[in-house]
Every structure is written in C-alpha cells, then in structure tokens.
Chains A and B, each alone.
Chain A
Amino acid sequence: MSKSSGGTWAPSMLRRGPRNAEQMFPGSSGKSWFGNWFGKMPWLTKLCFLWLILVILAAALADLIPGLADPNYQGFVFGDGKTNEGPTASHWLGTDNVSRDILARLIYGARVSLIFAFSLVAIGIIVGGTLGSIAGYFRGLLETFLMALVDTWLSFPALIGLVFITTMLGMRNLLVLVLVGAVFVWPSYTRIARATALSVSGQDFVTAARAIGTSRKRILVREIFPNVLPALLAYSLVGLPVLIILESTLSFLGLGVEIPTASWGGMINQARQDLLINIWPAVWPAVTLFMTVYSFNNLADWVRTQAATRSAAI
C-alpha cells in the first residue's frame, strides 16, 4: 500500500481503498475527457477527425492564411498567370481554366459547403427538435396535425423542390440557399424528435418530475428536450455529409451560390468544360468532397459505436 499524504497509517485506509473515480481509473474524470476520447479512436477515424479539423479551420480562417491567393483573381487577364496550369510554387494545386488558384477556391469553397451544412443542421435541431418535442410530449390534436404535415412534406422530393425554388429565385446567396434548404430539412428532424420525445415521456423521471409539481412547459424544456437532443445530434452527424453533397449538387447544376463565389460543386461544373484538356481542376474538388463526406460518415459511425457502448454500460 502506498504511503498516503497524512503519513501515519490507520487501519481504515486498508478498508477504504481508492476514494474516488480519479484514483481508481486515472484520467477517467472530466478533465482529460478529450485526450481519452481522441486516443480511443481507430487510426482511420483519427485521420478523418484531423482532416475535418483541417477543413473547418481552413474554411474559418481562410482570410488569415498568409500567401493564399484571391480565389477570384484571374491572372491571365492581367498577364501574370496562365490557364490550366499544373502545380507551381505560387499555385500549389495549379489553376483552373480561367487561371484562378485552385487551392484558394477549394478553401473558400469549403466555407460555403460547411456553412450551408452546419446552419441547416442547426436549424433542423432547433426547429425540428422543438416541434417534435412538443408533439411527442403534449400529444393531442397538435401532434396529429403536425405529423400529417411532416409526412406530406417528406413525401415531396426535396431536390426537385430545391431546384425549382432556386431556379425561380433571382438572388442566390448563401443566406437564401440556407433558408430554402431549411424548408426541406425540418420535417425529418421533427419526426425523429417526436419519436424520441414519445419514448422519453413514458419514462419514470418524467412522472417523477410531475410528482414534484413541475409545470408541463418546464418538463418540456428540462426533461424532454435534453433527452431528445442526443438523438438529433446523432442524426445530424449523418445528415451533415448529405447536406454537403446537396450543396455541391446544387452548385454543379448551377443553382448553388452565384458565380464567381467558389464552391466545390461549382468548381467541378466549371472544370467539366475543359475536362479533356485538363482533368485536375475537377479532380481536386471531387477528392476534397469525397474525403470530407467520408470523414463525416466515418466519424459518425465511430460516435455511434461509442454511444452504444456507453448506453450498454449504464
């Protein structure tokens, strides 16, 4: 037995053993939570995680990266650049068919994709989570109506609707795109939230909350919603790559953010015209898109297994 800090030995020390979780399982307490978390990942998930961090950081800090070219600067117009150039010291990934720097466009394109995906997920969680929790906990006529609406909405093909609306719109900046996307994103979140809220409402702790005089509104906010949130977060991690692809699809169809704003789908579309001359302007955004989507899926899968082991341990 190790010497305890007090110095004098007492028989009670034998009996007591480790006094808290930190002593029993060093590193298990909240403080080193992140370290543990990353260390437990398989190597591929680690790579995916790091890639996502890189993409997110690059997108967020694009303006601060020293030496990064202007994504819309067309060198050949001013006589200091070439179109369809291979990798050079100033253009690491080369230039596209109007002599813009591909790396810069990739990084600024990530910004569009990620803002689109993350804000739609946030809207889905907030709007869908609220509506679904209300429907699942309060039940009644409201639920019947809301769920009928959700079912009708979901039966309508979202891509066609998006293409229709974006075609009709005169202006297509990121904000407009997000708002249009939100119209099609909320129903699936509502449905998941409602299903989870239904099962949560039947749990004893909700009855226990009632038995101490908690109001229905407070139960919704304090008991139901926090327990609905994990399900929504799990769903949104799967939903993120789908939304990234959706944004790229729209851009590829020319219905995404207006040109010349860089976006991955738009870059592929642009490169399509000269695909037989130079394939690289299409390959880079395609690979980036693939890696990002794959990373999200891989990470989502890992989180899911972690959550499964954790709930099994409870």
Chain B
Amino acid sequence: MGGSEILRVEDLHTSFFLPIGELQAVRGVSFSLKRGRSLGIVGESGSGKTVLARSIMCLNLGSNVKTSGSAFFDGRDLLALSRREMRRLWGTEIAMIFQDPMTSLNPMVKIGRQVIEHLRQHKNVNRREAKQTALDLLNEVRIPEAESRIDRLPHELSGGMRQRVSIASALACEPSLLFADEPTTALDVTVQHQILNLLSREQRQRNMTMVMVTHDLGVIAGRTDDTLVMYAGKVVEQASTDEIFEKTQHPYTEALMRSIPRTSQASHTPLAAITGRPPVATHLPAGCAFSLRCPYVQPKCHEEDPPLVSIGTSGHKSACWYPVGSDANREAFERNLSDRLPQTLAVAESLGADQSPGIPADLPDGGIA
C-alpha cells in the first residue's frame, strides 16, 4: 500500500490582506506525503501551521485571503478545484479534526446525529443503518455507554469525550487523508495521551494518511513518521521524526526542544524559553525570520534568507546558514557569547557554564504528552 504519493504541496503561499498591510501567514511551503504515513507540523503560535492546513483543505474563507501555489491530492490540485468538486472530497476523502471540541460541535444537535451527518449527506443510508453506524463509531472511539450517550447534546459531555465525538465524525466517511489541527491543545494532559493514542491507532488500522498540526514536540515524538518545523510561515526543518530529535539542524528546532521542561531537571529550574517574540507577520525582518531570536545569528543571517537545503541523503532538510552541530555554528556561538548577545547569553546560562552548544536534546522517544 505505502509508497504512492497522496499529497504534494508546492510553493504554497497564503496571505491575509488586512488594513495594516499584507499578513503573510504561509510563505512558500513545499512538502510531499506518502499514503499511510503521518506528518507532524510543529511551530509556535502564529507560525502559520493552522493556516497551512486550512489552505490545503481550502477552508480559508473571506475575500481578503489569497492562496497561491498548488496542493496535489491524488494528482488533483485542490486549490484549483471548484467549490462543488471540493465538497465531494471534503469528508469522504479529506477530513479535519479541530482544536477545540467545545466549539467544533454544534451545540444544538445530538452527538449521534453529528457523527453520521456526512454519511447521511454523501451516502444514502436509512435511519436504522445510520444509527448503527453512529453506535459503531462511538464505540470505536471508546466512548463508554455509547447507547445512552448517542442522544446527548455536546454540552453534556466532557472535553475529552467531545473530542472523541469529533474524531468519530471525521472518521465516519473513512477519509484517506486526515488533518488534525492541534487536536489535544484544549484537553488536559492525561486525556491528551488517550486522544493521541486513539488517533495513532485509527491511523494505523485504517491505513490513513494523517497530518498532525501541533505546537508541542512531545505530541509528535514517537507518533508521526515525519516532521515539519515551521517558523513565520516557512518550513525551517524537515526530516523523519527520529532524525529531527537525534540530529537537530535548525537553531529554532533546537530552541523548541530546549524549552521542553524535563522531569530529570531539578525543581524550580527556570524554563528555557526562547527569548523574544515571533515576528509580526505583517512586518517580517529581512533575511532569516528567526535571526532576531537566534543565539547563533551572524551578519549574513540579517541579509539573506537561507534556502531549505538537503543535508545528507535521508531527506533531512534545513534552512540555516549555520546549522546546529557544524563548526560554523560553534564559532558563531562563541563569537556571540563574547559579544554578549542577550539570547546567546540566555542559552549559555540554561546550558550551564561547562557545556557547549549543539548537544542533541535528550528527549525520551516515547514523548511527553
């Protein structure tokens, strides 16, 4: 089954035209995804990951949104499809799970009906069959006592239950590509774990292709095959998930990993937050977008935007002039340290005096979630 390409995104741009100027949410993203694989898209808030997912699904509404580039799904460019053609794909071929189960379910409709809503639209099923399907789906996503819950309204269920319902409704028509847009952000940690495991299991069982959008590296660790790290609307690093954790190349990815708190740390260790703020997407800096916060920044970074280039042979790509672990990176770090650059000092402080930069992050494989 695996091997054939199901989704290929080429040079995707999405901009919002606002009164304060053009907001470039996605700036030239390309990637491809093979059938049955899973991809994690990681980035801070405002890095464009949700907009990317919604752009591929053509869900961005409004006259002030402009999307260019192409997204081939099974050889068809989704961005060129008409609304009618798209409607045929939505739900049956491509589905999406939303971030907040509190708002992604219609508060006035019983959950049983919501789950089978698209079955009723796309396939002609009679009431009894539909109800049985709804029950099966609810059981499959492990909702206890589905028979009694099927006639409940969303507000009568807990957050985790509601997310299970929205997963069930996304799975109802057996899509081949599933977008999960921060499916666990609104949930607490133990429920997160259950929901993620549920998603992984469904993905494997149905041989579904899944794109998981998240801001939490722990969510994708050990769960997705590939990872895409986004910053300010661009892909800064792209590799298989194992590679990303073992051979981090981009300073931003490294900073993200460093900022994950670990149980091995002594209590009251200050969190290693990334200094500064993400750039405002209407006023992006010249050169590399991360240059203002990067501990390894050099004059060249302010002038030229580094291209996304392959490193090695395994498909690992990174967009940095001074990739982590290289000699150039080490020199840059020492130079910045002697120049007393604030973000470099902050990194040095969190690493401890005797350690050198560029140590691969010691994340456990099982992931934190």
Contact = CB atoms under 8 A, between A and B. Distances in A.
A205 B106 CA distance: 6
A17 to B, nearest CB: 12
A304 interface: no
A208 B96 contact: yes
Contact of B122 (A204, A213, A226): A213
B300 interface: no
A58 interface: no
Interface string A200-223: 000111011111111100100011
Interface in A217-270: 218, 222-223, 226-227, 229
A160 interface: no
B99 A204 contact: yes
A20 interface: yes
A207 B53 CA distance: 13
Nearest to B107: A227
A210 B92 CA distance: 12
Contact of B90 (A21, A205, A212, A313): A212
Contact of A212 (B148, B156, B170): B170
A203 B103 contact: yes
Which interface class (under 10, 10 to 19, 20 to 34, 35 or more) fits B? 35 or more
Given A20-B145, A207-B59, A218-B121, A212 B106 contact: no
B57 interface: yes
Contacts of B173: 212
Given A223-B106, A227-B107, A214 B117 contact: yes
Interface in A278-310: none
Contacts of A40: none
B88 A226 contact: no
B98 interface: yes
Nearest to A314: B155
A19 interface: yes
Interface in B110-134: 117-118, 121-122
B266 interface: no
A19 B103 CA distance: 27
B103 A226 contact: no
Nearest to A140: B63
B87 A215 contact: yes
A29 to B, nearest CB: 9
Interface in A183-215: 203-205, 207-215
Interface string B48-74: 000000000101000000000000000
Given A205-B104, A218-B121, A227-B108, A212 B169 contact: yes
Given A208-B104, A314-B155, A213 B87 contact: yes
B200 to A, nearest CB: 21
A190 B187 CA distance: 37
Interface in B87-103: 87-92, 94-96, 98-100, 102-103
Contact of B59 (A205, A210, A215, A218): A210
A208 B166 contact: yes
Contacts of A313: 155
A308 to B, nearest CB: 14
B105 interface: yes
A205 B105 contact: yes
Contacts of A209: 106, 117
Interface in A88-143: none
A21 B155 CA distance: 13
A20 B156 CA distance: 12
Given A20-B148, A204-B99, A226 B92 contact: no
A210 B90 contact: yes
Contacts of B89: 213
Nearest to B151: A30
Contacts of B169: 208, 212
B271 interface: no
Nearest to B179: A211
Contact of A204 (B95, B98, B121): B98
B109 interface: yes
B92 A213 contact: yes
- Among A208, A212, A222: residue with most chain B CB under 10 A: A212
A226 B90 contact: no
Contact of B145 (A19, A203, A208, A213): A19
Contacts of A214: 87, 91, 117-118, 121
Interface in A19-38: 19-21
B160 to A, nearest CB: 15
B95 to A, nearest CB: 7
A213 B104 contact: no
Contacts of B87: 213-215
B104 A204 contact: yes
B99 A211 contact: no
Contact of B95 (A19, A203, A212, A222): A212
Given A20-B145, A203-B103, A205-B106, A213 B121 contact: yes
Interface of B: 57, 59, 86-92, 94-96, 98-100, 102-109, 117-118, 121-122, 145, 148, 155-156, 166, 169-170, 172-173
Given A203-B103, A227-B108, 10 more contacts: A20-B145, A21-B156, A212-B117, A212-B121, A212-B172, A213-B90, A213-B91, A214-B117, A222-B109, A227-B106
21 contacts: A20-B145, A20-B148, A204-B100, A205-B107, A207-B59, A207-B104, A208-B166, A210-B59, A211-B90, A211-B96, A212-B90, A212-B169, A213-B86, A213-B90, A213-B92, A214-B87, A214-B121, A222-B109, A226-B106, A227-B107, A229-B108
Q: Which 8 A-B pairs have the closest CB atoms?
A: A212-B91, A213-B90, A226-B108, A213-B91, A204-B104, A212-B118, A204-B103, A314-B155
Interface of A: 19-21, 203-205, 207-215, 218, 222-223, 226-227, 229, 313-314
